[in-house]
């Protein structure tokens, strides 16, 4: 049965530290919305500071979904996210509210909006072999292999994104067909049944970098070092171990460099991540860009977005 095509689903995205969470709270009140996180690290328990999860106050103010519900010991992937996000959308709409997706994981947004491809099932033996190759020869070695068999997919994947490189190679070696071809046919995307609006916040690069520096300093004031100590004391899943800050602080705790160096490494990694996020978003022509000023309030940005929503 077709769902109501006029029902809007709103996405707020943008690079890390730009202010998406504060804006989401304001927008949710205006839209009678509930928030669904589309951040691949905010799903984990025990990473409140490291992944900049919404504050306890924000969680009390507005219902949030898919935040801090997975053990960092467990693997989690886009297939699970797609199923759970779609269920949350249906539940929220049944309650007469608007689903408001908030987060900066471009792959999650793409999967929810456009659907997921039905490619090869997981091949654990092949996957383990590819991970061993990555550990021995490095992600760049596998990336070069991917460029030869599926240059279209390689163009969309960062050379250090081991997880996605391995998945693409796994699909090719299991089926003989590049993952880029499988991905042309997708199923279950929200865009089939709803009016999707995707807004991406943008800020002058120097100002964004300043916010990133402030974010990292605040993380240390909030106790991120103790949080990381607890995380490193357990066997982390591959997906959880990608969280920015873990490797950098592991080096400090192992005595390889001092705390100031660890901070600078986290800031650098976060800047590079923000750059990758913006590169991803610029490829999606459906995105509506919201250029913001450094001192602009969440209320002001929300008003601009609401005008755009209501004008359509």
Residue-wise pLDDT for 75-126, tens only, equals 998 889 999 999 999 999 999 999 999 999 999 999 999 887 666 567 888 8
Residue pair 70/45 in contact by the 8 Å Cβ criterion: yes
**How many structural domains is the chain composed of?**
2
Residue 33 bridge partners (DSSP) = 98
Task: Quickly tell me which residue has 């039905």 as its tokens.
Answer: 118
Residue 5 has pLDDT above 50, yes or no: no
CATH number for 141: 1.10.20.140
Q: Are residues 266 and 249 in the same domain?
A: yes
Judged by average pLDDT, the poorest of 161-170, 173-182, 220-229 is 173-182
Residue 3 has pLDDT above 60, yes or no: no
Collapse the DSSP code of 126 into the 3-class scheme (helix H, G, I; strand E, B; otherwise coil) and give the result.
Answer: helix
Specify if 1 maps to a domain: no
Given this model, what pLDDT does residue 100 score? 98
Element holding 197 (H helix, E strand)? strand 195-202
Residue pair 162/142 in contact by the 8 Å Cβ criterion: yes
Task: Quickly tell me which residue has 């004008």 as its tokens.
Answer: 311
Collapse the DSSP code of 203 into the 3-class scheme (helix H, G, I; strand E, B; otherwise coil) and give the result.
Answer: coil
Q: With both helix axes pointing from N to C terminus, report the angle between 106-114 and 78-94 in degrees, rounded to the nearest 10.
A: 60
Judged by average pLDDT, the poorest of 8-12, 22-26, 120-124, 157-161 is 120-124
For 63-79, write each residue's pLDDT tens digit: 999 999 999 999 998 88
Domain that holds residue 157: 124-182
Q: Are residues 18 and 107 in the same domain?
A: yes
Residues 70 and 60: their CA atoms lie apart, in Å, by 20
Residue pair 242/51 in contact by the 8 Å Cβ criterion: no
Confidence band, pLDDT 50/70/90 cuts, at residue 56 = very high
Specify if 78 maps to a domain: yes
Collapse the DSSP code of 10 into the 3-class scheme (helix H, G, I; strand E, B; otherwise coil) and give the result.
Answer: strand
Q: Are residues 164 and 229 in the same domain?
A: no
Given this model, what pLDDT does residue 305 score? 97
For 254-286, write each residue's pLDDT tens digit: 999 999 999 999 999 999 999 999 999 999 999
Q: Are residues 77 and 131 in the same domain?
A: no
């Amino acid at each position: 049965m077709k769902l109501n095509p006029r029902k809007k689903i709103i996405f707020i995205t943008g690079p890390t530290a730009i202010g998406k969470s504060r804006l989401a709270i304001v927008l949710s009140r205006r839209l009678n919305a509930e928030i669904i996180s589309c951040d691949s690290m905010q799903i984990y328990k025990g990473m409140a500071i490291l992944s900049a999860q919404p504050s306890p106050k924000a969680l009390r103010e507005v219902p949030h979904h898919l935040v801090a519900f997975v053990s960092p010991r467990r693997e989690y992937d886009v297939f699970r996210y797609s199923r759970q996000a779609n269920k949350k959308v249906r539940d929220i709409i049944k309650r007469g509210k608007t689903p408001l997706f908030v987060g900066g994981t471009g792959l999650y947004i793409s999967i929810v909006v456009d659907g997921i491809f039905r490619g090869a099932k997981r091949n654990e033996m092949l996957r383990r072999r590819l991970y061993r190759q990555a550990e021995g020869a490095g992600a760049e070695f596998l990336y070069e292999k991917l460029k030869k068999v599926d240059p279209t997919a390689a163009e969309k994947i960062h050379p250090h994104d081991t997880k996605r490189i391995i998945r693409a190679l796994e699909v090719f070696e299991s089926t003989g067909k590049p993952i880029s071809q499988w991905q042309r046919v997708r199923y279950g995307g929200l865009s089939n049944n709803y009016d999707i609006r995707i807004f991406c916040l943008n800020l002058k690069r120097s100002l964004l970098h300043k916010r990133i520096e402030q974010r990292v300093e605040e993380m240390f004031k909030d106790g991120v070092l103790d949080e990381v100590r607890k995380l490193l004391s357990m066997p982390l899943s591959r997906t959880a171990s990608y969280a920015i800050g873990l490797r950098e602080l592991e080096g400090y705790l192992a005595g390889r460099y001092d705390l100031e160096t660890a901070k600078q490494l986290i800031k650098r990694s976060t800047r590079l991540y923000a750059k990758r996020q913006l590169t991803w978003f610029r490829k999606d022509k459906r995105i509506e860009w919201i250029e913001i000023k450094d001192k602009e309030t969440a209320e002001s940005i929300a008003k601009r977005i609401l005008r755009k929503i209501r004008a359509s």
